[in-house]
Structures are given as C-alpha cells and as structure tokens.
Amino acid sequence: MSETLLQAQELRKTFRSSNQEFEVLRGVNLTLARGELVALLGVSGTGKSTLIQILGALDRPSSGTVVMEGVDLFALSQNKCAAFRNRHIGFIYQSHRLLPEFTALENVMLPLLIGRTARREAKARAEDALHEVELAHRLHHRPGQMSGGEQQRVAIARAVVGNPALLLADEPTGNLDRKTAEGVFQLLKGLNRNKGLTCLMVTHNRELAADLDRRIHLIDGQLVEGDEQH
Ligand SMILES: Nc1ncnc2c1ncn2[C@@H]1O[C@H](COP(=O)(O)OP(=O)(O)OP(=O)(O)O)[C@@H](O)[C@H]1O
Ligand SMILES: [Mg+2]
C-alpha cells in the first residue's frame, strides 16, 4: 500500500470582484501518495494555479481542508502554516519569481535563511542544489543575466534546496522551448526518482504529461482522473 502524503477534501474557492462572485473550485478532492509524479491538466482559466496555491498553503480555500503529513494546514496559525510550508513544500511559480537584485546563489539560499539555517550551511546547500541543476557556473549571475531556462532551473533549485516532501510546480516548462522544456522536465523526474520527491505539476504539454505516473484534469471546478482527452 502506498502511503498518503497529502489529502485535499471538498476544496472550494470563490473569488469576489466588485459585485460579482465566481466559484473557481467546486469541491475538489485529491489524494497524493508519497513518491508520485502527477500531472495537473486543464484549459486556461479553470483554476489550476488557484488549486496548487491552496495545496501549497500560499492561499486559503473558501472552505475545505488540506492535510499533509497528518497536519491540517488551514487549522494552523498563519505563522505555523508558513513555517510548515517552508520545511515541507517546494513551490515553482508559473513565472519564476526570482528576486532580480539577488544572485542565483542568494535566491536559492533565501528559503533556508528564512528557515533559520546557518548562513555557511545555507550557502553550501544552495551551491549543491545549483550544481544539481547544472548551474554551478552561474552562481553569481543575477536573473537578468541568465536565460529563461537557466532562470527556471534556479527556481527549481530554490524549490528543492530545503529537501521538501512535496514539490508543486506551476507550468515549470511553460515558457521554454521544446528542448529546454524537456531538460527541465527530466531534471524534475530525476529528483522524483533519486530523492523520492512527490511532485504535482501543472502542464499543458500532453507529451510530457503522458510520461508521468498519473494525470488529473480540472474541469468545471472539479478533478477528473484519467488519460482520456478532455
Ligand atoms: N485573485 C483573484 N481575484 C479574482 N479572480 C481571480 C483571482 N485569481 C484568479 N482568478 C480567476 O480565477 C480563474 C482561475 O485562475 P487560475 O489562475 O487559477 O487559472 P489557471 O487554470 O491556472 O489558468 P492558466 O492555464 O491560464 O494559468 C480565472 O478566471 C481568474 O480570472
Ligand atoms: Mg495558471
């Protein structure tokens, strides 16, 4: 039996703007087993980013629960929730969101420093993480001095440097050419294989998605499991 890492139950999310209400998530249920590599598919605007931001406790649902490693994330205080996220969850944003005035090394060190890792150790671990994404030669470059694929690999290093149990990746290959996208994808697969990292990845690329353990589709605010075309 595979061990459950994360369980989301009956997630709902309503956005309100001026006098309009819009329910993006309408009762999402999801179980992720430890070590799984799962693709999250769905047309633009269906709520994929909304969902993985909630799963990563970057945003709160209107109702519903997310339990990870036995911890009910939204029952925690904001500070405890942020600390849990820092320790257990890596997040790759749809746009990489590196800090422009910091070097690659500093960007990757940041989550460790926030988690109160000593500076010397944070530096050593960030160097290792950048080495793993084959950027040992770009440690002191700022994002603006790197290519899109390099910036995305720095974002991956930043997401995994703390050795999280779960990696949530929002279209990590979205803005990349086919060959670079394939490289980033292989990198994530390697982290999954070698470190047992559980990964939920939003992608529009069906070829890459077909290569993962499982595919789920967000349709009309709910998840549908399966390989058929939607
Ligand atoms: N903060 C917000 N306030 C109001 N509406 C929002 C907010 N964030 C997202 N939405 C709306 O919720 C819907 C889902 O957005 P979301 O970014 O989750 O979609 P997505 O599936 O990730 O799309 P894409 O594939 O284009 O990235 C969209 O219609 C969007 O306009
Ligand atoms: Mg999105």
Could you tell me if the CB of 44 is within 6 A of ligand 1? yes
pLDDT band at 187 (very low <50, low <70, confident <90, very high): confident
In the predicted structure, residue 10 carries a pLDDT above the cut 90: yes
In the predicted structure, residue 185 carries a pLDDT above the cut 90: no
Pairing of β 63-68 and β 89-92 = unpaired
Phi-psi category of residue 163: left, alpha or beta, with phi > 0 → left and psi -120 to 50 → alpha: left
Pairing of β 37-41 and β 214-219 = parallel
pLDDT in tens, 11-32: 999 999 888 999 999 999 999 9
| DSSP percent split of the chain into helix, strand, coil, nearest 5 | 40, 30, 35
What residue ranges do the domains of the chain occupy?
36-60+74-225
Q: Residue with the nearest Cα to atom 24 of ligand 1?
A: 44
Topology (CATH) of 36-60+74-225: Rossmann fold (3.40.50)
Q: Give the distance (Å) from ligand 2 centre to CA of residue 216.
A: 15
Confidence (pLDDT) at 96: 72
- The residue to mutate among 49, 206, 223, having the most atoms of ligand 1 within 8 angstroms of its beta carbon, is 49
pLDDT band at 1 (very low <50, low <70, confident <90, very high): low
Q: Residue with the nearest Cα to atom 10 of ligand 1?
A: 15
pLDDT in tens, 100-137: 999 999 999 999 999 999 999 999 999 999 998 889 99
Q: Residue with the nearest Cα to atom 26 of ligand 1?
A: 44
What's the number of CA atoms in the CB half-sphere (13 Å) around residue 66? 25
Confidence (pLDDT) at 94: 79
pLDDT in tens, 190-214: 889 888 899 999 998 888 899 899 9
Q: Which of 127, 120, 129 is nearest to 162 (CA)?
A: 129
